[in-house]
């Protein structure tokens, strides 16, 4: 998974590539992020009791995974929805609009143009009324087929 942040007002950019291992399902599970050399960057766990993200700097807890991710990253990253998006499906808890190349949801455009390679791209432009917002691009490539892909033969 790669994450790229760009501040449209100043042109500043940040980002990087991490390996991710997802275990569970969107309602309860864990997500481990590792650097390309295998160092654990963060581990997220969530379930009905709440969510936490553990990093070398400490643990952040909250009622929802998205709340914890926003505190950690300083930007809104809908991790709950992303867990559905990497399966090439809209999140079932928010409205979406289908497009020829994917769908739009929560202000993000999810491109499935490269889904045949198990690659998704999610982009969210910065909101003009929020100067602290950054343009965000997330690219995720799945190494293993999802259960839906296995059932459909994709």
Cα–Cα separations (whole angstroms), residue 152 to 18, 43, 109, 149: 28, 31, 24, 5
pLDDT (0 to 100) of residue 59: 92
Q: Looking at domain 2-142, which CATH architecture does it have?
A: Clam (2.50)
pLDDT (0 to 100) of residue 144: 64
Asked if 108 and 114 count as a contact pair (C-beta separation under 8 A), the reply is no
pLDDT (0 to 100) of residue 153: 47
What pTM was estimated for this model as a whole? 0.78
CA–CA distance, 13 with 100 (Å, rounded to integer)? 30
Per-residue tens of pLDDT for the chain, all 154 residues: 777 777 777 777 777 787 888 888 878 988 888 888 888 888 989 899 999 989 888 998 988 888 877 776 667 788 889 889 988 999 999 999 999 999 999 999 999 999 989 999 999 998 888 777 788 898 988 876 545 545 444 4
Q: What are phi and psi of 66, to 5 degrees?
A: -60, -40
CA–CA distance, 73 with 52 (Å, rounded to integer)? 13
**Segments making up each domain of the chain, as ranges:** 2-142
Residue from 73, 114, 92, 72 nearest 27 by CA: 92
pLDDT (0 to 100) of residue 73: 67
pLDDT (0 to 100) of residue 69: 75
């Amino acid at each position: 998974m790669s994450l790229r942040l760009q501040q449209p007002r100043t042109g500043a950019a940040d980002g990087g590539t991490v390996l991710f291992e997802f275990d569970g399902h969107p309602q309860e599970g864990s997500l481990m992020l590792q650097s390309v050399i295998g160092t654990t960057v963060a581990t997220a766990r969530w379930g009905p009791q709440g969510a936490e993200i553990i990093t070398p700097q400490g643990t952040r807890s909250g009622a929802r995974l998205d709340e914890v991710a926003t505190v950690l990253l300083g930007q809104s990253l809908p991790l709950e929805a992303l867990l559905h998006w990497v399966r090439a499906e809209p999140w079932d808890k928010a409205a979406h609009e289908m497009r020829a190349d994917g769908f739009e949801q929560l202000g993000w455009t999810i491109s499935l143009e490269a889904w045949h390679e198990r690659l998704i791209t999610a982009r969210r432009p910065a909101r003009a009324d929020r100067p602290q917002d950054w343009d965000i691009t997330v690219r995720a490539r799945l190494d293993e087929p999802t259960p839906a892909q296995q059932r459909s033969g994709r």
